Amino acid sequence: MSDRFQVSKRNPDGSRGRRLRVPSLGKIDVTPTRAILSVAVVGSIGFVAWAFTIRDADQIPLLAAGFAILGIVFSALAVSGAVETYRSASNGRTARAVGAAVLGGLAAVVAFLCFAGAIVGALVSKS
């Protein structure tokens, strides 16, 4: 019988086949969602900080746009916190679920504050 039809060997944890290594920073796994949201948070905060340094008629509309983008990013963080809360609670990790729920809730509050700042900025720039 050829090797092609043999049953694959088991890994030490009992699973079959190759295990993929996930890149990590210490205990935190670097997933595509975390990487994209991290870049989005840093980029949007950088844009808002840059918009604070402009001293002309375009400052208020740029700040309104920056706060709108920051609100969208923090909304995505809040949704990912809700998803992580559900996954952690389903796996019986209650402490992690509570932590994800609290951080997701804080992200939602920051998102609403950013949206409020964007609306106020848009109304001020129109007048």
Q: Does residue 72 contact residue 107 with C-beta atoms inside 8 Å?
A: no
Mean pLDDT of residues grouped by 10 in the chain (127 residues)?
A: 62 68 77 90 94 90 94 96 94 93 97 96 89
Residue 19: per-residue pLDDT: 61
Buried b / exposed e across 19-45, counting CB within 10 Å, b at 16+?
A: eeeeeeeeeeeeeeeeeebeebbeebe
Residue 5: per-residue pLDDT: 58
Long-range CB contacts (within 8 A, 24+) of 102-107: 104/77, 104/78, 104/79, 104/80, 105/78, 105/81, 107/74, 107/75, 107/77, 107/78, 107/81
Residue 43: per-residue pLDDT: 95
Residue 23: per-residue pLDDT: 78
pTM: 0.77
Annotated domain spans of the chain: 31-126
